[in-house]
Amino acid sequence: MKIARFSRIGFILAAAGSAVGLGNIWKFPYMTGENGGGAFVLIYLLTITVIGLSLFIAEVLLGKAARNDSVTTFETLAPKNGHLWKYAGFIIFAGTLILSFYLIVIGWIIKYVYISATSLPTAVKEAGATFGGMVTTDVVGQFIFFNVAFFITIFIVTRGIKQGIEKVNLILMPLLIIILLALFFYATTLSGFSQALSFLFVPDWSKVTNTTVLQAVGHAFFTLSLGMGTIMAYSASLSNDTNIVRASISVAVIDTAIALIAGIVIFSFIFTGGAEAAGGPGLVFISLPPIFAEFGSLGNLFSVAFFVALGFAGITSAVSLIEPTVLYMTNRFNLSRARSLVYLGGVTYVLGTMALLSNIEEYKSYVTFGGKGFFDILDFTSSSIMLPFGGIIIAVFVGHVLQRERVYSLLKEYMSDRVFALWYFTIKYIIPIAVSAVMINKIFF
Ligand code: PHE
């Protein structure tokens, strides 16, 4: 099978486009806010450095070695029992679950571009009512914007890796970084800036429970797009001259930097405005607009820029949530991209609608299971269970199933023997043991 190739910078941009998403700007700040700040950030940073980066390299390596869809990748690379290992490739379906709630949030963002341009709420209370009203009562509005997000994403994916994904990332990623940096420099002048720094970087261990740890670890996977074959799928299109280790480090650094910058910006605004750090999923939607509003029409402009950038970040990730499954379907079932997208889109549509209704007062009870709304179930199951689990599978496969020699030959150009030994040890022992321990601890205790 012939797979299109990225340009060298195209891969880094696409992988960074996938990694940098709502996870960085919407989820990271609100999870940090809910989990008490610094300690959560520290566990998250530690996981990214030790586990995330190593696993990222492992996924790139699998993608590059097989240059195929994830199911075929596991099947053909396994020295024996390929017919069983191919099922490991099904980790890609976590993407469909994530996409279903992800598109709802992108829908909110699109709505907020409109709100930003027309009438920003001027006080936090009013902003809370605007956001809460939208999420819990506005079925039709949310549904329309969910559809807009849905069709934009599907459209880009139909165009394929080069014409669709690479092009979009090439334009949107730099734009996002510029907007965020502008906001950051502004934030440094605010009175809440130093409080934001200490909230984010001074750990308060009394707030840490096993759920905090699981969420921080799960979020490290989520934010780097790990554990579900996205990076593997993109790496199938790597150009041969890419230094895979350097590319992986670049993506991890960009992703982490953007999350931290977003966190600093958002908490500076929040503390300056006297709003609540533990604002939940509404954090960016409730705390930022009133602060933008203080700046009159300039504030409208700032707010539009912010939400447009956030929307862009979301779209480039949404695309990467669906690409691995499209690759699998076009490859194994000989379907066209369009037809694969019809099937996948159908599933996403149903799950997304259920998740949307689970936030609506009137319909909530129909889509709540075991006391948890379907939206939260999708989020928790995919990010805190499926991605870490996918990560364990990948680590076991690379560390225990593939021959060490084979792995070494794929990496030796890019790392010294010392670094390789360290990386290999992390993949073979640290990741499977540490990640299982975190998951078991959460499930049983
Ligand atoms: N990394 C993306 C984000 O931070 C989400 C994502 C997860 C994308 C898994 C692809 C795969 O928003």
**Residue 369 CA to ligand 1 centre (angstroms):** 25
pLDDT of residue 161: 64
Asked if the 8-444 domain carries CATH number 1.10.4160, the reply is yes
What band does 226 get if pLDDT is binned at 50, 70 and 90? very high
Q: Average pLDDT, stretch 342-347?
A: 93
Residue nearest to atom 11 of ligand 1 (CA): 225
Residue 46 pLDDT greater than 90, yes or no: yes
Domain definitions of the chain by residue range: 8-444
Q: What is the pLDDT of residues 352-381, one digit of tens each?
A: 999 999 999 888 888 888 888 999 999 989
CA 3, distance to chain mean position in Å, is 24
In percent, how much of the chain has pLDDT > 70? 97
Q: What is the pLDDT of residues 69-115, one digit of tens each?
A: 999 999 999 999 999 999 999 999 999 999 999 999 999 999 999 99
**Residue 325 CA to ligand 1 centre (angstroms):** 15
Q: What is the b/e burial string over 263-275, where b = at least 16 CB atoms within 10 angstroms of the residue's CB?
A: bbbbbbbbbbbeb
Ligand 1 nearest-atom number relative to CA 28: 4
Ligand 1 contacts (CB < 6 A) are: 18-19, 21-24, 95, 98, 222-223, 225, 228, 230, 317, 320-321
**Residue 317 CA to ligand 1 centre (angstroms):** 6
pLDDT of residue 2: 61
**Residue 100 CA to ligand 1 centre (angstroms):** 12
Residue nearest to atom 10 of ligand 1 (CA): 225
Q: What is the pLDDT of residues 235-246, one digit of tens each?
A: 998 888 889 999
Q: Could you tell me the two tokens for 29? A: 């700040």
Q: What is the pLDDT of residues 269-300, one digit of tens each?
A: 888 888 788 888 888 898 789 888 988 888 89
pLDDT of residue 173: 73
- Identify which of 24, 28, 93, 98 to mutate to test ligand 1's pocket (most ligand atoms within 8 A of the CB): 98
For residue 369, which phi and psi values (nearest 5 degrees)?
-125, 130
Which ranges in 381-425 belong to alpha helices (H)?
A: 387-396, 404-411, 417-425
Q: Average pLDDT, stretch 133-147?
A: 94
Residue 264 pLDDT greater than 90, yes or no: yes
Rg of the Cα atoms in the chain: 21
